[in-house]
Structure 1
Amino acid sequence: MSAISFFVSYGYNIESDGDAFVEKINAYMRVYQRILRPGEFLVDVFPILRYLPDWFPGAGFKRQAMEWNHNKETIHDVPFQRVKRDMAAGKAQPSFTSTLLEDLAFDPLAASKYNESNVKRAAGSIYTGGNDNTTSSIHTLLVAVLQFPGIQEKAQEELDRVIGRDRPPSIGDREDLPYCAAIVQEILRWQPATPFALPHALDQDEEFRGYVIPKGTTIMANVWGMTRDENFYPQPEEFIPERHLILDEKGTRLRETTRHLATWGFGRRVCPGSTLAEAVIFAGVISMLWACKISRPAGTEDFKIEYETYGVRWPKDFPVEFEPRFEGAMDILRSSIYDTDQ
């Protein structure tokens, strides 16, 4: 997930999970998830505390916030400046950042719409806004496979029938893999990564069911409740990809029919990367289920998997086992990672 986000943002290839900069970003993301929770800090409840001097007892949150803000600025600035240096040297890879900086340099209209600071922050948000959500969804895939083994069997039957075993599936196969595509939508419905979306604030007084909600009130959207509305999703606690499938116009083949737009936020703050995120999750689904058999390790059959929510909803650590589905599967998968034609 880190590699995809970084490549889109900066054209930067991360060679290993141990990349020091990725570790620094992941540490910041744990802070970011805390900040997303309303009431996490006392100043959220008593805003007047923001006026305490930094040195005052009990104002440690201000010093902590300054440190976190410095870390955030570093995370945004380091890869951004690298792209600028690579552009000056003529060796920058195509990316979100390089494309917008080129437009800024050569298109007079671009300068009237945004500046370098906007590009830097937008590029940073591709990672901070997408990495945890997509990773959480891949973890949920594993949970679903362990708790509802039948979905793995159906997906692998579809993959073997459509793709075979001589090549790995790709994102371009999505229309021919409706059941696997439906698994993505059911992941987003069953365990939405952000069950209360991002906080919004009212810009004017609003009346709702006889109640007046004042301007400035923080509003949390109950995505969790929406995805468990039994009027739309019977047996909401069950993982049922088929609920997202219908027959095509000719009534001859299944196709994916729904997208869970509620899981991507609302209004002007709706996630601009939802299409990319769904493609990334789909890639994870088809890659793992094509190459691996996923199961509970022996002796853990009764292990109860639990979730926790810190801004993003995550399953707590749980035991899981992977086996290659057939001889040569892992070699084919590995070769596709380094094959630029795949």
Structure 2
Amino acid sequence: MSWIVDARLGLLVPVALIAISLVRSLQKKRADPPLPPGPPQLPVVGNVLSIDSKAPWNTYAAWCADYGDLVYARFFSQDVVIINSEKIAKDLLDKRSNNYSDRPFLPTRIPFRWTHNFAFTPYGNEWRLARRLFHQSFRAEAALDFRPMQLRKARQLLNNLTDTPQSYQAHVTTFAASVAMSATYDYETAPLDDPFVGMVDRALYLGLKFMTPETTAILNAFPFLLRLPTWFPGSSMKRNALVSTQYVTEMIESPLQYVQESMASGTAGPSLASDLLKRKEQQESDRLPEFEQALRQASSTAFVGGSETTSSALLTFILAMVLHPHVQERAQAEIDAVVGKDRLPDFDDQPSLPYIEAILREVNRWQPVLPLGVAHAATNSDVYDGYYIPKGAAVVANTWEMSRNEIIYPRPSEFIPERFLDAGGQLLDANAPTFMFGFGRRICPGRYTAEASIWAVIASTLAVFEFSKAKDAQGNDIEFVPTFTSGLTRHPNPFPCRVTPRSGVNSEKLARLMDPIA
């Protein structure tokens, strides 16, 4: 986030010039009820300077310890309310969803062309149409149709890991993108260096860093930064926006063009995009622009959202197995007892593999992919538990802090799948971390497909491989401390990992195991 530091320094003069007027407007006293408690604020900038820009959830967790489960902060002129408990999140975002389904204004959304993703679209008719089109293909019942494809893609991942185990990160990314591309566009990705996978990587690298209230606070206060000429000092944001627009446009239009060409040649299979393109022909002319926009939003959101969150969770799973071999051993013992060693697990086995399900839940809880979710916004002012929530406030559900609730999840920093099982080894539903998928009307509509993809990979890879620490030239384990990316989503940075076949598994046996699925 070096651009933030540069911008802060460069804005000291204009901040000083407007400080008096802003302070007067922002420090107006209001009648009871009071705002939620929160950290002391500086004039003009509020709490922006006190945030850990690489891991704001850590700052919010510290504020939670000092001020409680509902915290008020201010980023320049933006009111921010941070929710640190699952109960409050459900009370507000679920039970009062009519008031908390909007999104705060993100000044980067249009310049970076992230209008393609309806996760960031303001609440209204545009969002409703895009989500409805998406939901028709990815609702719980429809998502069952993807399962044979997801198993097939998981088997392809096994082959890729067998051939080049050192490229585990690329293989996981390809798997996640492959499932999303198949469901959305009926497109088969290449095992490595697929052009469409590369498009997503390039677009996400820029976009996800600039779609949070923390990183857009300066632009909210000083929107002229995006109007500076690209040659002007301090205009890196403008240059990034131009590059992002190019990458995102390519990512949206190229797969749709592929589907249109396949439909014209008669080779297109069923997919979200082909179904919507057929329905487009039936639209009245006055509704066509609206439907085309929703079509692009639904398809690109399915592609981007499915790729990024699934691959992030699977990399976390592999990291957990490397660091916790005893968990891996128990999971493999369960698979061997239920499935045996003469076939691979499939979804019919899922009810009989509670420990695999517990691992999936713990992956989601231990290192949340979206530690702060996507911020909601208050459509109207509200009062909760005696505290005033201003109209237009960004409302942030701190899922990171929820996942660290020591009452529900003792020793929360540790990876303990057993926390989701009773004494008899059966799943407990009471403490399932469902908050990882969001709340209310903005809950993730692709969660059923995502969880099925993650389960398929966990079960399939543990049946065939062992994940362990990589060895140095002397044969010693390479010790490491995991690090993670920053931004809207979070996943482990590359770490030394050794992927080896389990005892008795070789390429010939793997080929036999996969034959019924081929």
TM range (shorter): 0.7 to 0.9
Query: Which stretch shows the higher mean deviation, 9-18 or 206-215?
Result: 206-215
Aligned to 1:265: 438
Deviation of the 1:183 alpha carbon: 0.6
Q: Secondary structure at the match of 1:3?
A: helix
Q: Structure 1: how far apart are the matches of 2:185 and 2:225?
A: 36
Secondary structure of 2:388's match?
strand
Q: Residues of 2 paired with 1:321 and 1:51: CA distance? A: 45
The one-character-per-residue Cα deviations of 1:205-248 (angstroms, maximum 9, x if unpaired) are 2334544332222222100111111121122122221222248x
CA distance in 2, matches of 1:226, 1:289: 29
SS in 2 for 1:321: strand
Q: Is the counterpart of residue 304 in structure 1 residue 477 in structure 2?
A: no
Kept in 1: contact 2:470–2:478 (CA 8 A):
yes
The one-letter code matched in structure 2 to 1:29 is: L
Distance in 2 between residues matched to 1:60 and 1:306, nearest whole Å: 26
Describe the shift of the 1:88–1:328 C-alpha distance in structure 2 as closer, same or farther (beyond 3 A).
Answer: same
Query: Residues 300 and 319 of structure 1 are in contact (CA less than 8 Å); yes or no, is this contact kept in structure 2?
Result: no
Structure 2: how far apart are the matches of 1:113 and 1:340? Answer: 45
253-262 or 265-274, which deviates more: 253-262
Which residue among 23, 28, 32 is the counterpart of 2:203? Answer: 28
3-state SS of paired residue (1:312): coil
Are 2:422 and 1:254 aligned? no
Give the 3 Å change call, closer, same or farther, for CA 60–320 of structure 1 in structure 2: closer
Cα 1:50/1:270, change in 2 over 3 Å:
farther
Matched, 1:68 2:68: no
The Cα of 1:275 is off from its aligned counterpart by 0.8
For the Cα contact (< 8 Å) 1:168–1:333, is it kept in 2? Answer: no
Rate the CA distance shift 1:39–1:172 in 2: closer, same or farther, 3 A.
same
With normalisation by structure 1, the TM-score equals 0.88
Structure 2 match to 1:158: 334
Native 8 Å contact 1:291 1:330 kept in 2 = no
Specify the structure having the higher radius of gyration (Cα): 2
Opposite residue 300 of structure 1, the aligned amino acid is D
Alpha carbons of 1:171 and 1:54: their partners in 2 closer, same or farther (altered >3 Å)? farther
2:500 to 309, 318, 323: 323
Secondary structure at the counterpart of residue 219 of structure 1: strand
Q: 1:277 is matched with which residue? A: 450
In the alignment, is residue 39 of structure 1 matched against residue 214 of structure 2?
Answer: yes
| Correspondent of 1:244 among 420, 431, 435 | 420
The match for 1:124 is 300
Q: How many angstroms apart in 2 are the aligned matches of 1:46 and 1:56? A: 22
> Could you tell me whether the CA contact under 8 Å between 1:185 and 1:260 is conserved in 2?
yes
Q: Return closer, same or farther for 1:219/1:140 CA change in 2, 3 Å cut-off.
A: same
Aligned residues: 335
- The amino acid that maps onto 2:366 is W
Q: Using the TM superposition, name which of 280-289 and 328-337 deviates more.
A: 328-337
User: Alpha-carbon deviation of 1:184?
Assistant: 0.3
Deviations 1:149-201 (Å, cap 9, x if unpaired)? 21111100011111111111123321121111111011101111111001222
What does the per-residue CA deviation read over 1:227-282, in whole Å, with 9 as the maximum and x for residues that have no partner?
111121122122221222248xxx8x724636422101122221111011111111
C-alpha displacement at 1:56, in angstroms? 7.8
Given the superposition, is the C-alpha separation of residues 156 and 329 from structure 1 closer, same or farther in structure 2, using an over 3 Å criterion? farther
Q: 1:7 aligns with which of 182, 190, 209?
A: 182
CA deviation after TM superposition for structure 1 residue 60, in Å: 4.2
Counterpart pick for 1:294 among 467, 477, 488: 467
Alpha-carbon distance between aligned partners in 1 of 2:502 and 2:437, rounded to the nearest angstrom: 34
- Separation of aligned partners in 2, 1:324 and 1:129: 31
User: Helix, strand or coil for the counterpart of 2:383?
Assistant: strand
CA distance 1:3–1:340, change in 2 (3 Å): farther
SS in 2 for 1:131: helix
SS at match of 1:315: coil
Cα separation, partners in 2 of 1:150 and 1:194, compared to 1, 3 Å: same
- 3-state DSSP of counterpart to 1:322: strand
**TM-score normalised per structure 2:** 0.59
- Measure, in 1, the Cα distance between the counterparts of 2:386 and 2:295: 43
Cα RMSD (Å) of the superposition?
A: 2.7
C-alpha contact 1:179 1:256 (8 A) present in aligned 2: no
* Preserved contact between residue 421 and residue 427 of structure 2 (Cα < 8 Å): yes
Q: CA deviation at 1:135?
A: 1.1
Stretches of structure 2 lacking an aligned partner (at least 5 in a row): 1-175
Residue 307 of structure 2: SS of its match in structure 1?
helix
- Residue pair 2:259, 2:268 contacting (<8 A) in 1 also: yes
Correspondence for 1:89 among 253, 265, 276: 265
Runs of 4+ in 1 over 6 A off after TM superposition: 111-114
Whichever residue aligns with residue 214 of structure 1, its letter is: P
Letter in 1 for 2:312: S
Higher relative contact order (CA 8 A, sep 6+): 2
The 8 Å contact of residues 342 and 513 in structure 2, kept in 1 or not, is answered as no
**Within-5 A mapping of 1:100-115:** 100-105=276-281, 115=291
Range with bigger deviation, 84-93 or 258-267: 258-267
Structure 1 contact 11–94 (Cα < 8 Å) conserved: yes
Please give the alpha-carbon distance, in whole angstroms, between the structure 1 residues aligned to 2:201 and 2:511: 25
Query: Which residue number corresponds to residue 223 of structure 1?
Result: 399
Q: Distance in 1 between matches of 2:428 and 2:193?
A: 37
